[in-house]
Chains A and B, each alone.
Chain A
Amino acid sequence: MSDPLSKSATATEIAAAVRSGKVKAAAVIDATLKRIAASEPTINAFTDVVAERAIKRAAEIDAGSHRGPLIGVPFAVKNLFDIAGLPTRAGSKINIDGPKAARDGALVRKLEAAGAILVGGLNMGEYAYDFTGENVHYGPSRNPRDTTRMSGGSSGGSGAAVAAGEVPLALGSDTNGSIRVPSSLCGLFGLKPTYGRLSRAGSFPFVDAFDHLGPIARSTEDLALSFDAMQGWDADDPVCTDRPADPTSLRLMEGIDGLRIAIAGDYFAKGGEPEAFEAVATVAKALGATKTVVLPEAAAARAAAYVITAIEGAQLHLPRLKARPQDFDPDTRERFMAGALLPGSWYVKAQRFRRHYRANVLKVFDQADIVLAPATPCTAPKLGQVMMKLGGVDLPVRANLGLFTQPISFIGLPVVVAPLQRPGGLPIGVQIIAKPYNEQAALRVAAFLEKQGAASAPPA
């Protein structure tokens, strides 16, 4: 059990300590704000720290006005989540000139209803069109495992803040891999739930067809606890499911008996660096998984995800591209402009293919409950790195860090990233993929790996 005031403390440990009266919420927030102040000159994870709000809320909690499973837990959110009184940056300069949010985003409200305390907004790639965590306006969020390297994007600040021990819990968004990529590069547990499982109300969109929100943390207990607090239908997000919530915390330690676990072959077994496939092999061995399955036409799924993203994202931002092109990050501007010029027939074909691919991938889940795949094709690249070598081929970093995540979010499957710390090297993650709405199975597998010591996420 970690000291609840230390950077090693998990959300679960902090909530237990506050609930039992061992520490005051005010002391937790004081320690958190001091850690943020000490780390930020190096890490650059935060764009906004709401210290006054957090201190006030901690005092209310200590006065007995709030309860809940996350009582006293500090958390922060990617700055595309609305925070009342602040403009919703979404990583941009342009949005600062927009209106200030009238109220918090839906998931911020849900976590605070569970007793958690928001401490700020986190750096991200501009408008979430990013896998690197770099941002020309606010500077890059730096990877706490090696500050010369990328945190991963676009939820780079979310990964950096949790890996640095600034906060135990952060929320991110994942359209093509933006929770899973920073989780892998920063060596953290991350959950991209089923498409539509968690409300996206009060968050700045990117690609409606694929936008998901979810938590990044240093333990599977924290993922489950926060996920459970955020579940539930929300009329403000038309995609949000009306299926009943499926609490995962109580079943987390049930183990893996009865789960059929397979390894994704073909597309997911090539095109990356050896460490990506070694990580999958290590996890498969720890789980006793030997069977290989093929997600058919995954390369086309990646292509279709790319096309839908490019065209939807460009269409969303076209008025801004026309009015204020000079105020975009150069690393997103010309990609958005290119997306605005792609043929509409590609988009419709990609959407039609999505149904076809979904039907075929769901058949794979007749043979397996869980499928393992690499989360990223490599460990964290250097900040500013433009090209990388994957499988002996020179490829652009930005377009290719999500090679293995895009074919999964394309059809909204739930995924937990389990991080492997590599002594003497950088961490890398493995995707634990389940069928729709079966987050609890993916979380149980990740918890098993954590308990066995195969996966872990200590602060840097």
Chain B
Amino acid sequence: MADDKLDDKPDVARLVDEAAKAIGLAIAPEYRANVILNVERSLVIARPLLEIDLDDELTPGPVFQP
């Protein structure tokens, strides 16, 4: 597994509050719960990507050619 800490559940509410401050995004109280929910969903959906190991030589394609 690429990231052996994936099973440690992060404090998503705190992450949202602090990361939003860091980028200057004011999240109104009525939006906050849904932002937290969406970050939690993102953690679940992103997991199959985070679990993959990639070779160091594998770089992104600067100009993507399908």
The verdict on A102 contacting chain B, using a C-beta distance below 8 Å, is: no
State the Cβ distance, A108 to closest chain B Cβ, in Å. 24
- Determine if A322 and B26 form an interchain contact, defined as CB atoms under 8 angstroms apart: yes
Knowing A340-B25, A341-B23, A399-B45, say if A300 contacts B38 (CB, 8 Å).
Answer: no
- Determine if A341 and B15 form an interchain contact, defined as CB atoms under 8 angstroms apart: yes
Kindly state the separation between the CA atoms of A84 and B66 in the bound complex, as whole angstroms: 32
Residues of B in contact (CB 8 Å), total: 33
Interface string of B4-42 (1 = CB under 8 A from A): 000000000001100110011111100100110111011
- Determine if B45 and A337 form an interchain contact, defined as CB atoms under 8 angstroms apart: no
- Determine if B58 and A303 form an interchain contact, defined as CB atoms under 8 angstroms apart: no
- Determine if A325 and B28 form an interchain contact, defined as CB atoms under 8 angstroms apart: yes
Knowing A300-B48, A303-B48, A306-B42, say if A352 contacts B28 (CB, 8 Å).
Answer: no
Q: Which residues of B contact A412 (CB under 8 A)?
A: 64, 66
- Determine if A355 and B45 form an interchain contact, defined as CB atoms under 8 angstroms apart: no
The verdict on A38 contacting chain B, using a C-beta distance below 8 Å, is: no
The verdict on B52 contacting chain A, using a C-beta distance below 8 Å, is: yes
Interface string of A267-289 (1 = CB under 8 A from B): 00000000000000000000000
Indicate the member of B15, B37, B49, B59 with the most A CB atoms within 10 Å. B49
Q: Which residues of A contact B31 (CB under 8 A)?
A: 325, 333-334, 337
Contact among A322, A334, A341, A351 for B34, CB-based, below 8 A: A334
Kindly state the separation between the CA atoms of A321 and B24 in the bound complex, as whole angstroms: 10
- Determine if A297 and B39 form an interchain contact, defined as CB atoms under 8 angstroms apart: no
Q: Which residues of B contact A299 (CB under 8 A)?
A: 48
The verdict on A318 contacting chain B, using a C-beta distance below 8 Å, is: yes
State the Cβ distance, A311 to closest chain B Cβ, in Å. 10
B interface residue numbers (CB < 8 A to A): 15-16, 19-20, 23-28, 31, 34-35, 37-39, 41-42, 45-52, 54, 58-61, 64, 66
